[in-house]
Structures are given as C-alpha cells and as structure tokens.
Amino acid sequence: MLVPVVKRIKQNSRCFIERVLPVEGNIVVSVNDRVEPFDHLGDCFFSQRELVLPKGFKPYGLKTEKRYYYSGSLLGKVGSNEVFAPYDGNLSLCEKVYAFKEIDKKYIVLSGVWGIVKSVYGKKSILLETQTKDILLSISTKVQASGELVVFPNPTDVLKRSYLENFAKGIKGKIIYVGHNVSLDVIERAYEMEASAVIVGSAHKEVFDFAKSHNFSLGIISGFGKIKTPDVVYKMLSSVSYRYVFFEGDKNLLRVPIPFDNVNKGINANESIEPIKHVKPNMTVQVLQNPYFGWIGVVDRVCESSIFVRFGIDKNSVEIKLPNFLIIE
Amino acid sequence: MPLLAAYFDTSVVSLLLKEDKKDIEFFTFPYVYSESILSNQCSDKEFYKFLIERFLSERKIKLSSCDLIVSGFLEAPDFIDDSKFKVGITDLIQNSTEYIPIVVNSSSIVTNNFISSFSFCNAEDNLSVGSNNRDFGELDYHSNLCVYPQIVSDDLSAQGDLDKDISKKLPLDFKIEDNRKIVFTGGRFTQNICSKELNYVLALDLIKNPGIYEIYMDTKNVFPLVQLLKMYDKNVDIYAGDYIESTGLLVKFKGSIECLLSTKVGEDQFIEIDKDRMFVIPLKLDLPARLSIKSSALGSTDISTLGGEVGIIFDTRTSGESIYSNVKTFNDCIKQFGNSFKQDK
C-alpha cells in the first residue's frame, strides 16, 4: 500500500533570504561578509507612522503648509473633541485631508540569520545565503512577514486572548504561535495589535477568510477545524522561541534560521528522500478521518484497503480507510 | 515494449500497464500531489515521476524501456516529460463511440459538450454551493479537501452532501441520448467511499431526462485509460467492457409503468410500478431477457437486457427533484441498492 510521506519539518542547508530597507539608506555590509542574527546590515530614516485625521477636523495653530507638534500637544478639534499628537511629528494638509506624520526616525535592518552576504542591490536590499529549518504549513495567506517568534504554551481558548493582551506592549511586529486552535476574536485582536503573523495548529474557515481579506499573515499547521499541533512541531517552535523567523506564505513555510554549526544535526540529519513509501506496522501516520482528523498515531497492522492505528498509550487500535492517512516522518 | 498509460484525476492517479497482448494490469494510487503537504519536499513533476518509477520498478521494468502515454483532468498534465502521447479528458470523451462517458470527481463533472467545475478552496464557489447554510464541521471538512484532496468521507450523509453539490451542477434540462451505454467514471467513482450504494444514487441523480439507459460503473478509471490507449494505437486489442462493471438497465419515465419481463426461465413476470416510485429488480443473466414496457408517456417499447450488478432500476418520479433533496427517496434508494447486491440474481 503506497502512501505519501509528509515531512512537517525539513532542513534547508542552502536558502536565500532578502532583507530590505523601507526606503533607500546606508548599507553597512559587503558581499561575502559573514553575519549573525543581531548584526546590522543597514539603516535608513523615514516616517514610520501616520495619522489621517477625519473629515471636519480643525487644526490648532496651523498657519503655514506644515507645522511641527510635540507628542501630547493639541493638534486640533473634531467637533467638540480635542485631538492630541500621539507622537512628535508634522501636521499638513494633503489633498484636502489633514495628516499627521511622525518625524523621520532611524530604522535599522538586522540580519536575522546566520549567513553570508551574497549580493547588495543599490542602497536598499541585501541578499543573504543561509540555512534554515522549514516548518511546513498546510494553509497560509499569501503574505510575507518576519519577526521575533513568540510561542504560547498551547493555552485554552479562554486564556488565548489574555495571553495576547498581556503582550499588549510587545506584540507589534512579532510572529505569534497561539496554540492548537485560534478563534475569530483572537485573530481580530492580533490584527488590531499589529502582530506580524499568527501561527496556529488549526482554525475554522472563517478565521482564514478574515486573515485573507485583511491581507494578514496567518499560517495553519494541520488544517481546518480543531486539530492539535503535532508534538514534534510544537517542540521545535518552543525550542526557537524569541528567535527571528520568516513567514513565507506563498510557499506555505515558516523558516527558522539555524546557526552554521547546527547544519545536518537534529531531526532531519538522516532523512530519506522518498516522497512515497509502503505503509508498514510501527510507522507514524497522520489520520485524516473523523473523529480522529489530524491525530498522529502508530500503525498497528495493515489490511487490504485500510490500516489499524493506535493513538498514544491506548492499546486499542482503530480502523482507518485508505486514503485517509499519510505517513509522517 | 511495455506500455504504461497514466490518468491523473483530481484525487487519484490511475495506471494501466500493458506488457503484452494478454497481460494487462490496472493500478489505482488513491492520492495526488498537494502543495500543502508535499511542496517542501518535491515538485509535482518529481512526485509523479517517483510514483511511476516506483510502480514500474516493483514490476522489474525501467521507465526508459517503457512507452508512456498520459491523460489528465481537464488538460493533459504538463509535469510528465518524455511521454509518447498526451491528451486531455475532454478529447477522450469526444472520441468515445461506444459509451457516453460521465466523468465525475469531487468538484467537477464533464461529459459530451458539458463541463462544470467548482472549488471548495474558492470563496465565491463556496457560496454557490450554499456554504452559508453549513455548520463549522461541514465547512471545515470541505475546506480540508483543498489541503488533502484525496480524503474520503466515512460518513454516509457527508458523502451524500458532496455528491449533491456535484449533481446540482448539472442543469435539470440536461439531456443524454437514451438507448445508449452510459459509463460513470472519474475520481469520484474510483474512491474508496464508505458505501458503494452512494455511487448508484449519484449516477441515478445525474440522469435528468426520461429514457431507457444501459448503466456502467467504472471504479478503476478504466474508461480514460483504455480510451487513451485506443487513441494512441488504433489497433490495440483491448475492450473496456471487460473491466467495467455492468450495473444494469435504468428505465426512467414520469408516471406509472407496466412491464412484462421474459427471461425464458420459468413464467414471465408482470410488473406494475406506480408513479413517484424508485424500484430495483435484481437481475443478472447470461442470456438476454426481453422487457416490454408500457407507459402513458412513451407508449409501448420492447428492449432486451442482461441486467447487471444491480439489475433493472425503475424511476417513475414525476417531480423531477433531486434524490438528495428528499430524505425518504434517498434512504429508499440506499436500501434497495443494498438489497440488490445481497440477493442472488
């Protein structure tokens, strides 16, 4: 009985990652330089935040084309409501709309990976050759993002939102693993709080549709519904918590950079390259049949058009019909 | 030189290996390449090449010493190099003379001059199959088909819902020439589904217009493979009917029917079927029986039949509604088809 082999985590000993400045600036590395995650690659100055003020806004003290306001000072009024500057910046009228732009601030682009600079494009982009462990996502929105990985310890549904709230000051720009399953309100909150991406074991279709319609980075590891994240994936995520990672939605991958000396060590060191194998007793399989959809088990015995699978320490095995399972390596 | 014909459906891959005139083997691989689960290891091209090489090597044949011909749904696959002949399913259908093929897979239906397809992965298509009325479980299951296209429901009603979505795609006024052999083929009928009665319910629901039809059920994708072989080599000596199940005869008229069945064994049987009924007579013969049919709509007609795995199916429903929209009719069909297998014909 030939069955496809799925490798949720795969080592990639040669991959390229591009690090880009939002606007042209100074690149401080050269081709063939060896870099580590916290090494500066370059920097630039640009306004990183903008507040577009609503119709009916009347500015306070704006007599020239543009005026500088300190954070906390009065910008103007909308009706009887006063609007204060949320940060230091300039107020100006642009195409009949008032906009308050933060003053240009220094933006530093870090390497994020252990790698070698392969090429530099103008004053904006650096291509790095590196090595990663890639976690395969079953479904993802076709968006690219990167950021520090924060791993929640598979909290219950009730706790997820409070975990997010507790990270209120630090969630912006981060890639969050939120647990086995995510509900719509949690993904909406993560979006509002400007998380860079959300990784989750499973989600209902409506959650995915929300992320897709808002162009928000969402990676689902196992599938739609309520499916546990495979232990091996969760352990891998936990072991690299707070590392800078890359979400590549168009390739269904979460790329986790690894140090030079970790290449060819660990779970994929002796992996086979066969994408299809005969299923045999004691192999690990992922079941895709209700009520065990997404569960990982071990093959007990193989019959003509089905297999019997044991889950965890349960001695009893259950029949799973071909083709409702995949071999997991 | 051995000849390998491959047909790539949306949920299965079917192979036919012909080593010599008599040595023919059909093989079904019930999975397909899915980016969601395999893209980090290999491309679709590498995956299918590995599958074909593996299949051949287990039979001690090298790919290089084998003629490879391929077909796919809908177009001929572009991921197979070095094939001697490539053709899409629509060409296979158009070139069929003996059968009227109805090719069905989990989200598409193709037959002579008709194609309808939808995707559970597409939000707009999801709306068109009424996803708004579905619960989380159903929606998640349908959405998972985009990730794991091979999965087969182990639940009768869930599979029934999927089949209903397919059947709905065929317009009510869709006409098939009667007195013809109709073969139901494609990934849907090749899958290892929970109850084979569902195959017959779907087949029955896909025939919309009244008439008398010979029904054939292709559960190994024999039709596309043999048709591909015949288009590649017109002199090939292979008959699809040897490998396809002869299901029986469908007599479909609106209103009551009277029949006289003469099998030349024992007395003739008179059968009267009221309107708005589904009725199955288990019948499988070596010599043809004569069936005289009288209906208010058709008048009188005589036909000879050997029956088949199911037998003779009478459908006298006047409403024209889908079997799936009436639970009583659906359950009755399942029961009668189930009974027809059990009975000694």
**Is residue A261 predicted with pLDDT exceeding 60?**
yes
pLDDT tens column, A144-162: 999 999 888 776 666 666 7
Of the candidates A2, A212, A290, the beta carbon closest to that of B29 is on A2
Residue A219 dihedral angles phi and psi, to the nearest 5°: -120, 125
Flag whether residue B8 sits within 8 Å of chain A, measured between CB atoms: no
Fold of the CATH domain A279-328: SH3 type barrels. (2.30.30)
Q: Where are chain A's structural domains?
A: 51-103, 138-251, 279-328
Name chain A contacts of B194, Cβ cutoff 8 Å.
321
Contacts of A206 in chain B (CB under 8 A): 139
| Chain A: closest CA distance from residue B340 (Å) | 24
Tell me the chain B residues in contact with residue A138 when contact means C-beta distances shorter than 8 Å: 36-37, 147
Tell me how far apart the alpha carbons of residues B37 and A3 are, in angstroms, rounded to a whole number. 13
Cβ-defined contact of A10 to B41 (cutoff 8 Å): yes
Helices (H) and strands (E) in chain A, counts: 4, 29
Is some CB atom of chain A closer than 8 A to the CB atom of B123? Answer: yes
Task: Report the residue of A5, A224, A289 to disrupt the B interface, i.e. the one with the largest count of B CBs within 10 Å.
Answer: A224
Q: How many helices and strands in chain B, by DSSP H and E?
A: 10, 17
Q: What is the pLDDT of residues A160-186, one digit of tens each?
A: 667 777 765 578 889 999 989 888 988
Closest CA–CA distance from residue A137 to any residue of chain B (Å): 7
* Residue, of A62 and B27, whose pLDDT is higher: B27
Interchain contact A225–B (C-beta under 8 A)? yes
Of the candidate CATH numbers 3.40.50, 1.10.10, 3.50.30, 1.10.8, the domain formed by A138-251 belongs to 3.50.30
- The widest CA-to-CA distance across chain B, in whole angstroms, is 67
Contact A323/B at CB under 8 A: yes
- Whether residue A153 is preceded by a cis peptide bond, meaning omega within 30 degrees of 0, is no
Domain ranges of chain B: 93-108+172-342
Q: Do B139 and A204 touch (CB under 8 A)?
A: yes
Residue A269 pLDDT > 50:
no
Beta strands B13-18; B3-8: pairing state: antiparallel
Place of tokens 């220094």: A106
ipTM for the complex shown: 0.88
Distance CA B114, CA B102 (A): 10
The reported pTM is 0.84
Distance CA A153, CA A130 (A): 29
Q: Is the Cβ–Cβ distance between A20 and A246 less than 8 Å?
A: no
Q: List phi, psi (to 5°) of A272.
A: -85, 165
Which pairing describes strands B284-295 and B257-262: parallel, antiparallel, or unpaired? Answer: antiparallel
Kindly determine whether residue A324 and residue B41, on different chains, have CB atoms separated by under 8 Å.
Answer: no
CB contact under 8 A, B37 and A209: no
- The residue of chain A with its CA nearest to that of B194 is A321
Contacts of A323 in chain B (CB under 8 A): 30-31, 150-152, 191-192
Instruction: Give yes or no for a contact between A12 and A85, defined as CB atoms under 8 angstroms apart.
Output: no
Strand partners, A206: none
Put simply, whether A92 touches B (Cβ < 8 Å) is no
Looking at every residue in chain A, the average pLDDT score rounds to 89
For the stretch B93-136, pLDDT in tens is 999 888 999 999 988 999 988 888 877 666 555 545 555 555 66
**B219/A contact by beta carbon, under 8 A:** no
